[in-house]
Structure 1
Amino acid sequence: MDRRRRRHSWPLWPPDRVETTPPLLSSRGLSLCIDIIDWSDIDFRSHNERAKIEQIECLKRVQQGADLCKYGSRGSPHIRFFYVDATGSILRWKSHKKKMEDSMIILSNVSRLQVGQNTPIFERFVKLRTRELKRRSFSLIYGDDCEKTLDIVCSTREENLVWVRALRFLITREAYSKKIDPYRSLLRSFWDRACVRERGVIDIDAVSRLLGNMNITYSKPECKVLFDNAGVHRHDIIDFSTITRLSLRLRSSPKVYFDIFQRYSDSDVAKLSVGLKQFMLFLRTEQNMDMDESEGLALMRRYMSKEGGRDPPSLRIYELISYLTGDQNTLFDPARMNLYQDMTRPLYDYYINSSHNTYLEGDQLKGISSTKMYIKALQEGCRSVEIDCWDGPNGEPVVYHGFTLTSKVLFHEVVQTIQQHAFDTSPFPVTLSLENRCSLPFQRRMAFHLRNILGPMLALPQDEDRVMLPSPSSLQYRIIIKAKLFLNDMTPSATLSSFSAYSFSESSIDQNASESISALAEQGVAPELASMVMLRARKFSSFDMFRGVAACQMTSFSEKKVTKLVKKGLSGRFVCYNTHNLSRVYPSRFRVDSSNLSPFQSWVSYPSSVIACTAVISVSSVLV
């Protein structure tokens, strides 16, 4: 089928002009990207030769490029020509309006690739999300705070598979390179930005700007001396190998070069480098490491570049520096990189990474609510997320910051997102802290979605009178529901922010909120929802009320409340309470800018297990 005929058969595509000019790739550039792949580094869940060949074909096709449908930030779909550059480190597309540097993604900045249409752009703008269309779609999530997405729809499922498979490989390769040599990976990302217009080479002036971006400030005379010492002249065109050599001069201290590298350089090797015999001597003499020759060889090969084999194996100066600055020589104990603590104790014996108002991207008054904030929180290690539930249109509960101007997101979309990403980074249980402001029919709808979406993942209450909570180890891959079973425990202060500085009447809003909550308190909690609640939240009046109560009961404290308790000299009572029940501390309602209390001060004064912190993407400027 020819390209034109196939293009017009795609749904939701505008009759836009398409650029079909192929990327400037030579056969040498294409083979370079294929050749530098070390297949032993990456597991593609298939080890046969056919699978390896299929991977190579996928890489070739994405470098040759294809017309794909891109959804912009405003939701309009456009056909763009996408391709991966010759190095396999940048995804580019041709745009009619945007500059070249705005039409690219450096793959080392991509946090994840997800298949389907689960991003806010897709959810907001694609009205007809059929199963077939979802199978042809994928998104790249990138940026420092994972706040940006590139949303793509392919023409066929086969084409979607090709791009997803190739991009996943390249993203994994970039992540692996970053782990092995983080400095070189960082240099590569700056290089990719600097040479966006020059197609693989830059001049000396661009190098000066690149060094400035890396916080390496050199005056023009100093740059000239640096270039002269490296044998680079002003009118030379500089490639990545040259900039690597320049950066090496900046990284190499005289002590490393003269006291280590030259002392242990092997005269039997043609180029100045450290051979296996000398490297073993270095490990024994300088590092006090006792390992056999096979282990030393494996360590050498880990830091040797993949740009061609060396026989006999040896380390060049930049590879030795990579070893000295790598994870093998970190001050942090490598044994502590993996879980080593006892995870069989009750939940209240641990500090739990917790999120406050998880759904908010911005401030507490008019910020955007979105499901991607739950993805961000869970992938950053949060094990407790908050869901503020309210009655919504069409019989569906919604999530937003009540009595404010924040946007709304559907409750079932939040639960679906949590189900998909709860255990991306950790197998230990996730607690859903439900702030239930819904009427009975909507509570039943909440219970339906929780049971239908989470199913066997739910940790249902068992022995209500047990004196100890279960352990994180016994609750792996389970989701805990925490909520109030007595709605008359609810207070408007837990949800409201201060509007006094924004020409709103705080007293009138408090009155409206109290009336709404009083109405909810009279009707109680739906039995369908109550049967799922494992952690039962109660309103705090005194520590005496928690003497001898079941371990499943807990309470939440505002920042202001715990400060008062500490000033009254009740820190000891608070510590005693936390030895048999969970407590949660959340920021003051006056923090409308989504700022946080200090968890360290909290742990010293009143070691609460759950200190809830906001993790917003951006905070809009506040009216004054």
Structure 2
Amino acid sequence: MAETMSATGRGDGLFRRLSRGASNKLRRRASTTHSLRIRDQSAGPLLVRRRSDSNGASDFQDVSDLELDSNLEDMDDCPPYVNDRSNALGINVGRPAPMSHGTGSTFVGGIAPSSSAILEKGTWVWKHTRRSRKRIQLRLDSSSARVCWHGKKPDKSFFIDDVREMRVGEESRNARDDIQVPTDQEDLLVTIVYAVAERSKGRSIKTMHIVMPDHYIMKLWMNALNIVTRQRIEVMNALSSNPEKAEKGMALAWKQVMSQKDVSQDERLTLADAMALCRSLEINCSESAVKTHFKAIGRDEHAALTYDQYKDFLQSFRERKDITHIFKNWQLGTDHDMVLETFLEFMRYEQKADVDKDRAHWEAVFHKFARPGSNRPTLPDAAPQPEQKVWTTQSFQTFLTSPFTSPLALLGSEPFLDRPLNEYFISSSHNTYLLGRQVAGTSSVEGYISALVKGCRCIEIDCWDGDDGRPIVTHGRTMTSKIPFEDCVSVVAKYAFHSSPYPLVVSLEVHCNPDQQLVMVELMRKYFGSMMVTEPISNNTVSLPSPEELRNRILIKVKASAEIEQLQSLPEAPTGRRRARSLTSTFGRAPSTETSSATSSPLVSSSSATSPSEVNGVFTPRGSIPSGVVTPSSSADDSDEVRQPIDRAKRRGNKTRIIHELGKLGVYAQGIKFGAGFQTPAGKTYNHIYSFNENTFDDLCTKKTDNKALLEKHNVRHLLRVYPAAKRVDSSNFNPLSVWRRGGQMAALNWQTYDVPQQINEAMFAGGLDRLGYVPKPDELRHAKHQPIFDAVDQGPKDHEKRGKKCVKFSVDIISAQRLPRPRNQSSGSGMNPYIEFEMFYAEDKERVITKSDGINDASVQELPAERALPSRSRTRIVEGNGFDPQYHQNITTSVETKFPGLVFVRWTVWNAPQGKKSGSNGVLLAAYTAKLSSLQQGYRHLPLFNPQGEQYRDAKLFVKIKTEAPVAIQQHHAESLYYGIVDPAASPRFDTPRSDRPWPRRIFSRASSQRRRDASSDVAGPLSRTSSMDRESLP
């Protein structure tokens, strides 16, 4: 078999790898060889897909191989159907059994997936786009798990692994007007959303609309795609720590391998088969490691393994010796099983769980994974307890990879968010409708679905006049595509509370004429109905309502109409009912003692302002931003549209005026002019909101006036939204920490770009109650007494409290990585050389960091201005030739001094060092995980890893041990005595200060010079793993 494959030159493998980025090559149709060869060079194992019509977000962070079955006791046994056949899709194409010629025989058949000759030959369907419809032949390529409609063009196809979602009939309602499908064909409409490896026009997903010829063909396609998706996940469970799922996965994988053999060949696993199998299961280790495992079972690399030997072969990869080492340590180095009391002690001292508070819960968890005990004692000198349930090493391993050891805090009890809206950070999106770049990207309702499913609570809709009198949504004066406003609001209404019951803010940027503004109002009333707030819910005019009071309500953010602006310009009456929970009434009337420097100091916009960008992108501004006083007077004033070089007076004349019917919908988010500063009467209204682009915001924070202090004071009581500047044509993002540390509630980012700022943004709203899209601001940002400019009207000077810094400590043991993705454009036979980098991000005017690592970095101190500071960074050694389970066992300890302990974020990144050389600028970033420090749970945790599109790898994980300490005031714990006297700041080397002219991403991802001076010999090797040693008994 191997010789035949070698002779044909079609690769080493037997079937396409079970994920996007196949590593092994197949027998393919001649017309698709080139495209599949390109596919073979891509990277990425099976990804976690979340259907947008699922029932909300799970409480568990997808870090486990138990996600398909929540109850181990209810799992069905899977007999090893070793005689069945299946192709790369998992569809049965077995050898036909001889037909019985008996007259009484009946062909009953059995329950198993089967292939359809109709789909493989091709079915004629109608493919719809915005401009036209075209009849195409849609074909299922079983050998490569691909759907194609043009055999000679790779871009006219998609792999089933890449399908994010399929919508049928009524579920495709939003696309109806856009693609104009006849009403009588709507129930035959299928919308397929799939990912693309290379971003096309800046987007990472595409949508395909197909009208099937009849319901029979539609059912064939849907069944085939669903079966493939399910079985490919099941095959990847062959290495699961769960015995039942592993048994089923191994049986399916065996069927797929054997189905590729000739009828005359024996059903045995050869070394060539084993090589291909390992690649398909994402066992990215060296060929010599696979041979070592193979020879340990077959005693000879020329041997062929039986089914039982094949299971032993995979079992050798399943064993986690790093976890076995932890288990034995808790069993005093013996081979005895673990009993309940030992487990509870482990949870108490290692996992830092409050066992006494919820002992019943943890006892239930123990019994969930327990097995009946044997007659042998669990510890020396202990009496036999045959009825007692115990944990084996396998039970312990299954527990540590289950959702019960999620790295982030779970949702927990029923939430109750009863503070005013302005006291929360709110998950916010910018230009939500865009899937790619700002200038020539694609507009789609998919952007709204994706954001809302992820828990976004503030979306943006840019509204322009449509040719048919119906408003459209697009990025104005650019080449982006257009979608109907009606489609957007209908989708928003459907998914508004999919992942969170708390209020959704719809930010409208209006460029429509009065007639189409009326249409907008009618459509929002039609689809939002009673969910939309159209009038105040109480008579309170002092403070905003709470998220709890606004459950399942939609708030409209829109500029004030001319009538409302005139009312706001009048002097304020010092009236209004005070809420009991209101902090002060300072902002209910004009204060008498505040400084007025901001009113006489006009805000100047600068075209030279710098801000963070994407990881490795250096953006080119589309043009200078005109200087002058910022005086918005229309809905377009907070727009980031790409403006043409036209006369300013003409531009003012073309500004859109908001009609009263639309403007009055901004009940609790009324956009107003900034103009003369924070001290205008309009700036004191309880329900107003300012929208600044990042340049305006940066100017407020950097100019030598009182604006920065007034901004922080404003944000204590009122809403602020900050969005990216127009220069970010590549849809990169600014650093949200700069907004949050000033108390800004809404840092609106481009969610379609998974750069470092967006990773931090997602981490902010990822753990526990934070997943609902509202995070309470730290106390120091919610109370006026902490602000630099303090009111002495309601509170005396004695009540003012200066924000003090606290010391935040964090320690992580990076133990190992599991099933890392292979680098793109690297052949499957090339070994991987992974290493891990650890970074810490925080917001401070002057930052001080002390970092100690037993890996590459020395202990060091960093003290730099916040706007130009490098994150605290350390990294591990390189482990050569092993991307399957590299072992590190390195500790990294970091400490920072900050006024905002709740705004500290940590990030792990996985890199590959080409050719095993010392890491540097040529390292390849494979995966990342970012978390808010306060959301992380302590103890042993498996961290999920994400690809460049923000999608979670299903099996790739980092195994770490986390230790955190409560923040301590600096006065109680001096920085120079941190980490038990290990670090001497006076003698420790400093990080190189970055040049001020270097862009933000280069400063973040450049390596410190102290790292580059390390000797390469200390950067390689490390403890052996299960793929490099077969006889190692325990970890060092």
TM-score, normalising length: structure 1? 0.68
What are the ranges of 5 or more consecutive residues in structure 1 without an aligned counterpart?
Answer: 1-36, 44-58, 267-273, 302-310, 500-505, 620-624
| Bigger relative contact order (CA 8 A; separation at least 6) | 2
- 1:476 is paired with a residue whose SS is coil
Q: CA deviation at 1:525?
A: 2.6
Q: C-alpha offsets along residues 99-131 of structure 1, whole Å, 9 cap, x if unaligned?
A: 99966524xx6554433366699658854332x
- How do residues 571-586 of structure 1 correspond to structure 2 at under 5 angstroms? 571-586=708-723
Alignment of 1:329 onto 2:405: yes
- 2:645 is paired with a residue whose SS is helix
Alignment of 1:473 onto 2:548: yes
- 1:351 is paired with a residue whose SS is strand
- How do residues 28-177 of structure 1 correspond to structure 2 at under 5 angstroms? 63=114, 65=116, 76-78=134-136, 80=138, 97=151, 104-106=159-161, 111-116=164-169, 126-130=179-183, 132-143=184-195, 147-149=205-207, 153=211
Task: Give the number of the structure whose alpha-carbon radius of gyration is greater.
Answer: 2
- Which residue of the partner structure matches residue 699 of structure 2? 564
Q: 1:194 to 1:372 in 2, by over 3 A?
A: farther
Q: 1:423 to 1:218 in 2, by over 3 A?
A: same
Q: 1:509 to 1:98 in 2, by over 3 A?
A: farther
Q: C-alpha offsets along residues 464-505 of structure 1, whole Å, 9 cap, x if unaligned?
A: 872121211222222111101237713766334557xxxxxx
CA distance in 2, matches of 1:110, 1:533: 39
CA distance in 1, matches of 2:237, 2:288: 35
Task: Supply the AA of the counterpart residue of 1:562.
Answer: F
- The range that moved more, 455-464 or 197-206, is 197-206
- How do residues 235-384 of structure 1 correspond to structure 2 at under 5 angstroms? 236=304, 241=311, 244-249=314-319, 252=322, 255-256=325-326, 259=329, 278-280=338-340, 282-284=342-344, 286-287=346-347, 296-300=366-370, 318-333=394-409, 336-338=410-412, 342-384=416-458
- Which residue of the partner structure matches residue 219 of structure 1? 286
Q: 1:84 to 1:214 in 2, by over 3 A?
A: closer
- Which residue of the partner structure matches residue 18 of structure 1? none
Q: 1:237 to 1:154 in 2, by over 3 A?
A: farther
Q: 1:331 to 1:361 in 2, by over 3 A?
A: closer
Task: Supply the AA of the counterpart residue of 1:484.
Answer: K
Task: Supply the AA of the counterpart residue of 2:181.
Answer: L
Q: CA deviation at 1:585?
A: 0.8
Q: C-alpha offsets along residues 442-467 of structure 1, whole Å, 9 cap, x if unaligned?
A: 11111111111221221112268721
Q: CA deviation at 1:614?
A: 0.7
8 A Cα contact 2:635 2:658, kept in partner? no
8 A Cα contact 2:509 2:636, kept in partner? no
Q: 1:244 to 1:405 in 2, by over 3 A?
A: same
CA distance in 1, matches of 2:271, 2:238: 28
Q: 1:552 to 1:350 in 2, by over 3 A?
A: same
Q: C-alpha offsets along residues 157-203 of structure 1, whole Å, 9 cap, x if unaligned?
A: 68868987998899799999999998889999999999989758986
CA distance in 2, matches of 1:100, 1:234: 38
What CA RMSD, in Å, does the superposition of the two structures yield over aligned residues?
Answer: 5.2
8 A Cα contact 1:204 1:238, kept in partner? no
Q: CA deviation at 1:235?
A: 5.8
- Which residue of the partner structure matches residue 20 of structure 1? none
Alignment of 1:228 onto 2:295: yes
| Residue 666 (structure 2) aligned to one of 533, 548, 558 | 533
Alignment of 1:554 onto 2:689: yes
- Which residue of the partner structure matches residue 751 of structure 2? 615
Task: Supply the AA of the counterpart residue of 1:383.
Answer: R
Task: Supply the AA of the counterpart residue of 1:420.
Answer: K
- Which residue of the partner structure matches residue 489 of structure 1? 633
Q: 1:255 to 1:565 in 2, by over 3 A?
A: same
Q: C-alpha offsets along residues 523-582 of structure 1, whole Å, 9 cap, x if unaligned?
A: x43333234332210011211125773322111112111212112343332222112211
- 2:555 is paired with a residue whose SS is strand
| Residue 508 (structure 1) aligned to one of 632, 646, 655 | 646
Task: Supply the AA of the counterpart residue of 1:147.
Answer: I
8 A Cα contact 1:248 1:318, kept in partner? no
CA distance in 1, matches of 2:750, 2:708: 25
- Which residue of the partner structure matches residue 491 of structure 2? 417
- Which residue of the partner structure matches residue 5 of structure 1? none
Q: What percentage of residue pairs aligned between the two structures are identical? A: 23
8 A Cα contact 1:137 1:152, kept in partner? yes
8 A Cα contact 1:113 1:168, kept in partner? no
- 1:555 is paired with a residue whose SS is strand
CA distance in 2, matches of 1:312, 1:63: 46
Q: CA deviation at 1:251?
A: 6.0
TM-score, normalising length: structure 2? 0.43
Task: Supply the AA of the counterpart residue of 1:218.
Answer: C
Q: CA deviation at 1:344?
A: 1.5
Q: C-alpha offsets along residues 348-374 of structure 1, whole Å, 9 cap, x if unaligned?
A: 111111111111122222212111111
CA distance in 1, matches of 2:399, 2:163: 26
Q: 1:193 to 1:540 in 2, by over 3 A?
A: farther
Alignment of 1:454 onto 2:528: yes
8 A Cα contact 2:328 2:334, kept in partner? no
CA distance in 1, matches of 2:495, 2:435: 18
- 1:297 is paired with a residue whose SS is helix
Task: Supply the AA of the counterpart residue of 2:646.
Answer: S
Task: Supply the AA of the counterpart residue of 1:466.
Answer: T
- Which residue of the partner structure matches residue 732 of structure 2? 595
CA distance in 2, matches of 1:40, 1:165: 26
Q: CA deviation at 1:262?
A: 11
8 A Cα contact 2:421 2:547, kept in partner? yes
Q: 1:531 to 1:284 in 2, by over 3 A?
A: closer
Task: Supply the AA of the counterpart residue of 1:434.
Answer: L
Task: Supply the AA of the counterpart residue of 2:169.
Answer: G
Q: CA deviation at 1:339?
A: 6.3
What are the ranges of 5 or more consecutive residues in structure 2 without an aligned counterpart?
Answer: 1-67, 75-109, 197-202, 262-268, 349-354, 372-386, 563-631, 756-1036
- 1:480 is paired with a residue whose SS is strand
CA distance in 1, matches of 2:488, 2:551: 21
Q: CA deviation at 1:391?
A: 0.8
8 A Cα contact 1:491 1:514, kept in partner? no
- 1:428 is paired with a residue whose SS is coil
Q: C-alpha offsets along residues 376-412 of structure 1, whole Å, 9 cap, x if unaligned?
A: 1111211111111111111111111112222211111
CA distance in 1, matches of 2:408, 2:221: 38
Q: 1:229 to 1:148 in 2, by over 3 A?
A: farther
8 A Cα contact 1:95 1:103, kept in partner? no
8 A Cα contact 1:146 1:376, kept in partner? no
Q: 1:557 to 1:449 in 2, by over 3 A?
A: same
CA distance in 2, matches of 1:190, 1:515: 70
* Matched residues, number: 529
Alignment of 1:433 onto 2:433: no
8 A Cα contact 2:234 2:249, kept in partner? no
Q: CA deviation at 1:587?
A: 1.1
